[in-house]
Chains A and B, each alone.
Chain A
Amino acid sequence: MLRVVHYLNQFFAGIGGEEKAETGPQVRDGFLGPGRAIQNALAGRAEIVATVICGDNYFAENIDRASEELVRLLAPFKPDLLIAGPAFAAGRYGIACGAVCQVVRNQMGIPAVTGMHEENPGLDLYRNEIYIIPTEPTARGMNVAIPKMVNLALKLVAKEKIGRPVEEGYFPRGLLVNETSDQTGAERAVSMLLKKLGAQSFESEVPRPNYDQVKPAPRIEDIRRAKIALVTDGGLVPKGNPDEIEMRTATRFGKYALSGVESLRPEDYEVRHMGYDSVFIRQDPNRLVPVDVMRDLEREGVIGKLHEEFYSTTGVANIVETMRRMGQRIAEELKGNGVSGVILTST
């Protein structure tokens, strides 16, 4: 019989609510809580041999350590498969489910499946790595989600061919897979157009990127005390491009010291960007990253302070998902450094 380990947070394991969210990793024999429904859906094809549990706060505050501890606890059960959650819209739980699935798959080489709501922050963090089944935002969706998770999990463990996300009902993982079709692109496009004109549903072969609507940040109340940072996607980097930022489809950003810098000197910088003619910027980098003017404004007390590093990446032919992750990391770092406003210059 196939052996399954199930992951739960402290709430679904019945240990307690927020007051028990610091609970450390632990293991129980057999199934527990939502594990009963999973056991039923497995219908004799597999058995939950153990349930690993961790409190949401413990996990969120020690993601790497908690993952390692959970692997140590569950490995002796020699599972063929891990099922986590489902986490619904619970953010810390979703991140924990994603992390546990990822570490189990990477370290033990067994398939792992979880479920979450489309707005769970764990989705964007782990969707490219693992299989995640869409769920309702709350546990009311348990009975719908679990059979889908179980079916996909059993297919994975049987090493059956996994179809496209729309066929199997998991969140797209950002993979491009070559397929052959007996119709030419023109035929497929016309057929889609006819369906569209006939108000029938169709699936595009090129999904549109998903652009976020970003909620505007509140205004800065007192700019004379605010720390302002400069960020650019114009590809300005120190000579030699120490962070090896790509000239297109960048996956990296750099941050470069401005301490004691009154004005950016052309001999110190170069531009790594194949999307515009950078001659003017190379002549005077302040035309892209206006350090000279910001220093004047700082000296005059118009702003509180210029942040002592500027951030740079290259914005051309970029992947929206990658840029979103970069933007989130830059924003976290800036907020952590007390920056309250950013001027992002773009070419």
Chain B
Amino acid sequence: MVGSNRIVRGNKIVNPLGNTDLDPQNEKELRRAIVENALQALQTEVAEQTLFDQPM
């Protein structure tokens, strides 16, 4: 993403915060994990564009 300095990887372009292979409960947990990673990124000092990757 142009200009973004804190980048978190989502699941898929067409489904960034979901995964239809999972049942609804597990899918929501995946979504929560991605959001928590984003919140972690917001709490981290960065000097340049940084990718915050997480296990899927």
Query: Contact residues of A with B, CB < 8 Å?
Result: 211-214, 216-221, 223, 226, 228, 234, 276-281, 283-284, 286-288, 290, 292-294, 296-297, 302-303, 320, 341, 343-347
Contacts and interface: CB of A to CB of B under 8 A. Distances in A.
A94 B34 CA distance: 43
28 contacts: A216-B47, A219-B42, A219-B44, A220-B42, A220-B43, A223-B43, A228-B42, A276-B13, A286-B18, A286-B31, A287-B15, A287-B17, A290-B17, A290-B35, A293-B17, A293-B28, A297-B35, A320-B2, A341-B39, A341-B42, A343-B38, A343-B39, A345-B10, A345-B17, A346-B1, A346-B16, A347-B13, A347-B14
Given A287-B15, A343-B42, 8 more contacts: A212-B3, A214-B4, A214-B5, A219-B42, A280-B14, A287-B17, A290-B31, A293-B31
A318 to B, nearest CB: 10
Contacts of B32: 293, 296-297
A284 B18 CA distance: 9
Contact of B5 (A216, A276, A288, A341): A216
B31 A292 contact: yes
Given A212-B3, A290-B17, A292-B28, A302 B39 contact: yes
Interface of B: 1-6, 10, 13-18, 20, 28, 31-32, 34-36, 38-39, 42-48
Contacts of A280: 14-15, 18, 20
A260 B4 CA distance: 30
A230 to B, nearest CB: 10
B17 A286 contact: yes
B26 to A, nearest CB: 13
Nearest to B49: A216
Contact of B42 (A223, A296, A297): A223
Contacts of B46: 216, 219
A288 B16 contact: yes
Given A223-B43, A280-B20, A346-B1, A294 B35 contact: yes
A277 B13 CA distance: 9
Contacts of B35: 290, 293-294, 297, 343
Contacts of A296: 32
B15 A281 contact: yes
Contacts of B15: 280-281, 287
Choose among B2, B14, B38, B45 the residue with the greatest number of A CB atoms under 10 Å from its CB. B14
Choose among A214, A216, A292 the residue with the greatest number of B CB atoms under 10 Å from its CB. A216
A212 B5 CA distance: 11
